[in-house]
Amino acid sequence: MLTRHLLKQASTCRHFLLNSKTSSPFLTKSILFTSSSSSPESQSPTNTFVDDKVKDQYPTGTSISIDRSALYNLPEHSHEPTSDSELVKHLKGIIKFRGGPISVAEYMEEVLTNPKFGFYISRDVFGAEGDFITSPEVSQMFGEMVGVWAMCLWEQMGRPKQVNLVELGPGRGTLMADLLRSASKFKSFTESLHVHMVECSPTLQKLQHHNLKCFVEDDNSDGVEKRTVSMLAGIPVSWHALLEQVPSGMPSIIIAHEFYDALPVHQFQRASRGWCEKMVDVSEDSMFRFVLSPQPTPATLYLMRRCKWAAPKEIEKLGQIEVCPKAMDLTRTIADRIRCDGGGALIIDYGLNGVVSDSLQAIRKHKFINILDNPGSADLSAYVDFASIRHSAEEVSDISVHGPMTQSQFLGALGINFRVEALLQNCTDEQADSLRTGYWRLVGEGEAPFWEGPDELVPIGMGTRYLAMAIVNKKQGVPVPFQ
């Protein structure tokens, strides 16, 4: 009964009451309010893998120098002093030797991906014990549904014999593991695949290698590079730091889940002298602080480009704007590859289908904190501007852009309702609870209405705050389920 109630809600994409005062101890990055103080250790991870026993039911930098004298200091971002970490020393060093403040984007990039001290570089930041939780970690069904999408696209592509399946920023590798595990029954699909993981963190690369159950093939031939193969589906897997390093010349299916939100954003603020870029500086008492640039910065070119894509009315009402040049450039790289080689990309993230104003946030141990507070110890992420992705992609010929649609619509149309029902037939009580909660988190909105446990653990739906968009080669027609 409960299941049917949930299924009905998802299939009709009905919206539930959103109580913005509530919180969840497993913080997903799109929740814009502070989580409760309950200890993350007291909760068990929600992704309990359930075997697929009902087979038939599964459907087939620019450096700038700035005159400090005219900088306007934004007062609201002061914070308590702490002893400097290596990353803090590094950031202060850049600001000192550059002779002026750095952009928020440069700060964000250093904090997240500095090769020595970056937040993602040397640890596992996901799940109940980490800093935040993502959809693949919530339920196996997420990766499985993305697998359905990839397989449908492969069908629409005319079942090519060789395909690059690329994931950008795979985290723990959970999405890819669930995708491969569920797709392994469809041999003609999996036999065509070569998986490429685009990941900047050596620690996460190792974790992905482990979670994909990879081994290095024993090959006696000299001079031939040994292949790494995932035992989940007998598929070769390679790792790269950049999308550009993935071999071209064959069609690609590219997945970017919660990747774009980690790309560095520039922040602009409207001032009497026009749009000024918000910068990070060090105050006389050696604290980080925000200042406004006195004159246009190089990123202003991207701001102008972004504003041209928007209606004047949309811009007029905003006092702040975020732009993400890396997202624009990455989208162009994706679209170019798809135009040349065929295939498509799926982008799922939290964000808006329009200009983003002021969304940059820091999360540490499932709590929101000040962006300037002990950089490197917290995740930084920003809302994704899907309209900007659309416009960037549409500058490339022979591709088409679809969506965004809500995650709830996307997963519902791909059959998550059938999947949860099938899995519920063959699982323990504990797995059933985990499946129901996971299902709610993926497709629901607001607090789960069925919840009987402690208030502070109530699952909060991600179904409407996360959006899905596809970019495909026009040859393939409209991708499932965007028709």
Q: Which residues bind ligand SAH (CB under 6 A)?
A: 112-113, 120, 126, 134, 136-137, 169-171, 198-201, 204, 257-259, 262
Supply 291's token pair.
């200042």
What Rg, from alpha-carbon coordinates, does the chain have?
Answer: 23
Q: Which is nearer to ligand SAH, 199 or 447 (by Cβ)?
A: 199
User: Closer to ligand SAH at the Cβ: 157 or 166?
Assistant: 166
Question: Which residue of the chain is nearest ligand SAH when measured via CB?
Answer: 169
CB of 231 to ligand SAH, least distance (A): 21
Which is nearer to ligand SAH, 170 or 351 (by Cβ)?
Answer: 170
Cβ within 8 Å of residue 239, ≥6 positions away: 196, 197, 198, 199, 205, 208, 209
Nearer CB in complex with ligand SAH: 111/292 = 111
Quickly list H helices, 342-454. 386-394, 407-414, 416-425, 429-443
Q: Considering the complex, what minimum distance in angstroms separates the CB of residue 68 from ligand SAH?
A: 30
In the complex, minimum distance from the CB of residue 172 to ligand SAH, in angstroms, rounded to a whole number: 6
Burial class (CB in 10 A: 0-12, 13-18, 19+), 449: middle
Cβ 407 to ligand SAH shortest distance, Å: 12
Smallest gap from residue 93 Cβ to ligand SAH (A): 21
Q: How far apart are CA 414 and CA 222, in angstroms?
A: 45
| Closer CB to ligand SAH, 169 or 294, in the complex | 169
Nearest distance, CB of residue 125 and ligand SAH, angstroms: 8
Longest dimension (CA), the chain: 70
- Helices in 215-366 by DSSP H: which ranges? 300-308, 312-316, 325-341
Q: Which is nearer to ligand SAH, 262 or 318 (CB)?
A: 262
DSSP structural state of residue 132: B
Q: Which residue has the tokens 């309010």?
A: 33
